[in-house]
Structure 1
Amino acid sequence: MAGKVFVTGSSGMLGVECLRHLDATGWTATGVSRRPLPGGSAGLTQITVGSVLAADWLEDASAPVLHCAGLSDARAPFDGVTDLLSREVAPQVAFVEAMLARGWRGHLVYLSSAAVYGNPESLPVAEDHPLRPLGFYALQKVEVEQALGFLARHHGFGLSVLRVANPYGGARPLAERGVLRLLFDAARTGAPFTVNGSGEGLRDYLHMSDFVAAVARVLAAPPPPQDPVRVLNLGSGTGTSLNRLIGLVEAATGRRLDLRSVPSALEVASNVLDVGRAERVLGWRAVCGIEDGVRRMAAARAAEEGAKC
């Protein structure tokens, strides 16, 4: 079932990928962002606004909203929890309250993060694992999740919370964040890359093609009114160590990285998602393995770098 959908934060990495995929698969998708769409987005529809969170752009009281706008830098500094709540959490909650005040009662899809679990007690991590955020970025996701869940149950709209693993492999690889971007940059420039700790901790990496396919399925199957809040892990379900990523990037680029190793007593534990619920609810499972994903990213980077020459 495809129909009308709004995608907030559509000029960002995840937003534009979702907007592009939804448009290509039959949705009447409209992006909403403060900045213009990036290059290569011809044919896509966007409303450019002064503030996405003001919600004054919302015209349809029943259209689903894929909410990609929000804090994207996991290392953003804050003065403390009060600063975080006022700068990031309160505006996100006020955005949904503003939609509700306009009569909206659709399906909200909120992009959260696997970081909400912190250091898991066991692997893989299921959705009912305790939430133990280790940093401000993850804490912000937890607080917004809880507040939106309260509003959904109180006002009767559908809410899908997607706890997303480390996404990578979009159409604009030079604009990505994350360790793969840093590894490819180091391979290209020859700059040293520092491995903190053993490099054997596992992370879950989700290719963009699998991510956008999952999002489309979420939008097509909103939670039922009797149980309006649904939480889903979106990941590959497979752990990959930094050391293995290094080897894959070296193989894909044909270049050896200049590695520096630094002992770390604060090495973060492994984090790999249990994606069984998403498979049962959506009939979805990631199909792009990390080897193929890294090769695709290398090819996309080469094409983007060549286009800039």
Structure 2
Amino acid sequence: MKLLVVGGFGFIGKHLIERALSSEVEFTVVARKDPDSGWAGYPYVLENTIDNECLESLSKTHDAVVYMASSSIPATGSFIKELTENVEPAVQIVERLTYYNPAIKVIYLSSGGQVYGNDYSRPMCERDTCFPVSPYGFGKLMTEQGLAFLQRTRGIKLAILRVANPVGKWQYGLRQGLVNVVYQSLKSGEPIKIFGSGEEVRDYLDADELAELVLKITNSQFDFKVWNVGSGVATSTLSLVEKIEKYLGISGEKLFFPRRKFDPKSAVLDCRKLQLDMNWKASLTIDQILEKTLSHKMKQ
């Protein structure tokens, strides 16, 4: 098995690379820019240097493509830019790769927390209708639809993973990831910004477990699958903040703001289909995930 990882130097991509290395799985990363020096030694190509000849070579020398690239997050972007900056590039590269190699498997990482929208108070399953309200969620769903069209009309092998909220050691900055945002606020003495009442709930999973699942799927047989990937466990914002405060031994000031339209009140996934199809279930609790992630951050 040899993987082509599009967006492989991002947060989740780094976890996948680490797992691939430990499993002796070969890979090539497609990146939008050169990586940091610590990652530059791994095989990669820049997206803006790829022509049809290069795409043909990549498609015929790899068994699966894992697509996880995105230039936006739920709090930013416009739906028009989503079409040109995220949807079109994803569908275009998959269309060309599968044209040159119809047998190549396609694994697309979508968003379980954003594609379903704000209308569900129970765990959401794959059969539920999607009503995204953020440009980010709209872009993810449109990419899903574009790839599903290729599957219907060309018979490509496609697995769509609607991923919950992964947490892990390579989540940096304040643009995404509540765990890292709270951690950075507590360490710097800045107030913690909470949008909503704090009772809003999310589904968190370990980024390493997600990476292991992706490798398992690349080695499985499928034609077309859509799977929710999460823990299925609801954790409120305030509960998450309190757990991080307790671990660090720091109590921070909390500033409450109105809940933003793109922030669902509840975003918890029903993952029974994945468990049935792949015999996979997230094993780490939120407490174990936080201990693992925060202990790494404190050593840096």
Both structures adopt the same fold (TM-score exceeding 0.5): yes
8 A contact 1:105–1:156 mirrored in 2: no
Structure 1 residue 52: deviation in Å?
7.5
Worse-superposed segment, 253-262 or 181-190: 253-262
Structure 1 residue 87: deviation in Å?
3.0
Cross-structure match for 1:48: 45
Which whole-Å CA distance do the structure 1 matches of 2:269 and 2:47 have between them?
36
Give the aligned residue type for 1:251: K
Which of 93, 96, 99 is the equivalent residue of 2:97? 99
Which of 262, 273, 283 is the equivalent residue of 2:279? 283
8 A contact 2:186–2:251 mirrored in 1: yes
Indicate how the Cα distance of structure 1 residues 73 and 46 shifts in structure 2: closer, same or farther if over 3 A, else same: farther
Which whole-Å CA distance do the structure 1 matches of 2:99 and 2:48 have between them?
17
Cross-structure match for 1:18: 16
Structure 1 residue 40: deviation in Å?
4.6
Higher relative contact order (CA 8 A, sep 6+): 2
8 A contact 2:121–2:266 mirrored in 1: no
Cross-structure match for 2:4: 6
Cross-structure match for 1:222: 221
Indicate how the Cα distance of structure 1 residues 10 and 179 shifts in structure 2: closer, same or farther if over 3 A, else same: same
8 A contact 2:205–2:231 mirrored in 1: yes
Structure 1 residue 103: deviation in Å?
3.6
Worse-superposed segment, 20-29 or 177-186: 20-29
Indicate how the Cα distance of structure 1 residues 167 and 265 shifts in structure 2: closer, same or farther if over 3 A, else same: closer
Structure 1 residue 179: deviation in Å?
1.1
Which whole-Å CA distance do the structure 1 matches of 2:51 and 2:229 have between them?
28
TM-superposition CA deviations, 1:211-252 (whole Å, max 9, x none) = 1121111111131xxxx2100000011010001011111011
Give the aligned residue type for 2:293: M
TM-superposition CA deviations, 1:140-186 (whole Å, max 9, x none) = 0111101101102211221000000011113x243582111110011
Which whole-Å CA distance do the structure 2 matches of 1:212 and 1:52 have between them?
27
Alignment of 1:1-309 (within 5 A): 3-38=1-36, 40-41=38-39, 45-51=42-48, 56-57=54-55, 58-61=57-60, 63-78=63-78, 81-114=79-112, 115-170=114-169, 172-175=170-173, 177-223=176-222, 228-264=223-259, 268-304=264-300
Which whole-Å CA distance do the structure 1 matches of 2:188 and 2:121 have between them?
38
Structure 1 residue 41: deviation in Å?
4.3
Structure 1: which 5+ residue stretches go unaligned?
305-309
Which whole-Å CA distance do the structure 2 matches of 1:20 and 1:263 have between them?
39
SS in 2 for 1:167: strand
SS in 2 for 1:59: helix
Which whole-Å CA distance do the structure 2 matches of 1:127 and 1:11 have between them?
28
Indicate how the Cα distance of structure 1 residues 64 and 137 shifts in structure 2: closer, same or farther if over 3 A, else same: same
Please, what is the CA RMSD of the aligned residues?
2.2
Identity, in percent, stands at 27
Worse-superposed segment, 56-65 or 180-189: 56-65
Indicate how the Cα distance of structure 1 residues 85 and 59 shifts in structure 2: closer, same or farther if over 3 A, else same: closer
8 A contact 1:164–1:233 mirrored in 2: yes
Structure 1 residue 17: deviation in Å?
1.3
Structure 2: which 5+ residue stretches go unaligned?
none
Which whole-Å CA distance do the structure 1 matches of 2:8 and 2:275 have between them?
26
Structure 1 residue 260: deviation in Å?
1.8
Indicate how the Cα distance of structure 1 residues 154 and 265 shifts in structure 2: closer, same or farther if over 3 A, else same: closer
Structure 1 residue 32: deviation in Å?
2.2
Indicate how the Cα distance of structure 1 residues 92 and 181 shifts in structure 2: closer, same or farther if over 3 A, else same: same
Give the aligned residue type for 1:235: G
8 A contact 2:71–2:85 mirrored in 1: no
Give the aligned residue type for 2:86: E
Structure 1 residue 46: deviation in Å?
1.8
Indicate how the Cα distance of structure 1 residues 221 and 50 shifts in structure 2: closer, same or farther if over 3 A, else same: closer
Structure-2-length-normalised TM-score = 0.90
Which whole-Å CA distance do the structure 1 matches of 2:265 and 2:237 have between them?
12
